[in-house]
Amino acid sequence: MTRLYNNPADFREELIEGFVAAYGRLVRRVAGASGVMAVNAPQPGKVSLIIGGGSGHYPAFCGYVGPGLAAAAVMGNVFSAPSAEQVYRVTKAVVGDAGVLYSYGNYSGDVLNFDMAQMRCGDEGIDVRTVLVTDDVASAPSGREEERRGIAGDFYVFKLAGASAARGDSLDEVERLAIKANARTRSFGVAFAGCTLPGQREPLFTVAPGSMELGLGVHGEPGISTSHMRPAREVADLLLDTLLADVPDGAGHRVAVMMNGLGSTQYEELFVLYKDVHRRLLAEGLETHAPIVNEMVTSLDMAGCSLSLLWLDDELTPLLDAPCATPAYTMG
């Protein structure tokens, strides 16, 4: 359960205050808004990438703000979308002369409020585009990818879009590459125990002993089905069977791989699981590139993990490898 808080109603504000105090060399608070911005934002001639969503998913979303990645992040309350007013204020703080790209997971509350902010900015002559992340294969079948949720694959879309913006690409190009990154990213997760909101004693869902939830969400939603617990090698096969049954069009043999912990799964366990994932990927004839085994998009104290694959090509690989410096992720 979540144990360290003062007043649960102040949880978001206090975490922002502490985050900025710890990482002031990279980020600063957006005045009058529930959000943070990179110390070098906005940059003349460069697109501003704005990401965001509810709190409770660290390092998403504020942890990915900094040079080379996102210009800013808007932070809602725990598992709640930020308001349209907050999105607008953050946008005004970091908008430059090259436009703005919003990118966030495909959840109805986020879509509604970001869209309202985008319309308001458009009325003021600010060019804002949106790329929704839809990587979760459990949330809609093949052929209805636009209905899928965004989970840990958020990171890959943010990273590639941020690298495109940092090198000075136009807004059209940053948008195109973010769309391409999203189209080539697939994720699937399992949960072993639910998460508990600050101030609450009971988890949002429970998992029976000896069972696991398949296809979980990251806002405390249970999975789409329940299965028996099994050894790590069989969990690895389950994750990969699901993802490799939904390979995107035009995919090659090179994949970026992310084994993501959801909040309370031990890193040692993730490495045991990744060993079997790596073995299986090689057996499938796939080349792994820049694997990540880490907590990248969490759900407070949920026990579980997700696996994401991004099918790379010669256009996307340099963006994934491009340098960035953020509180949660540094490259180069």
Active site members: 219
What CA–CA distance (Å, rounded) separates 9 from 6?
A: 9
| Beta-sheet pairing, 254-261 with 303-311 | antiparallel
| Cα separation, 127 vs 125, whole angstroms | 6
76: β partners: 54
- φ, ψ of residue 290 to 5 degrees: the values are 50, 55
Q: Are strands 254-261 and 287-294 parallel, antiparallel or unpaired?
A: parallel
d(CA 297, CA 163): 19
Q: Rounded to whole angstroms, how far apart are CA atoms 271 and 274? A: 5
Q: Which two tokens stand for residue 225?
A: 């089905």
Cα–Cα distance between 228 and 66 in angstroms, integer?
Answer: 41
Residues with Cβ within 8 Å of 63's Cβ and at least 6 positions away in sequence, in order, are: 326, 327, 328, 329
3-class DSSP string for 9-27 = HHHHHHHHHHHHHHCCCCE
* Alpha carbon 308 to its chain's center: 11
For residues 86 and 116, is the Cβ–Cβ distance under 8 A? no
**Angle in degrees, 0-180, between the axes of helices 171-183 and 154-166, rounded to the nearest 10:** 160
Residue 132 structure tokens: 């929704």
DSSP code for 69? S
Structure token digits, residue 84:
């349209």
The single residue listed with the structure tokens 């636009």 is 146
End-to-end CA distance of the chain: 36
Bond preceding residue 209 cis, omega within 30 of 0? no
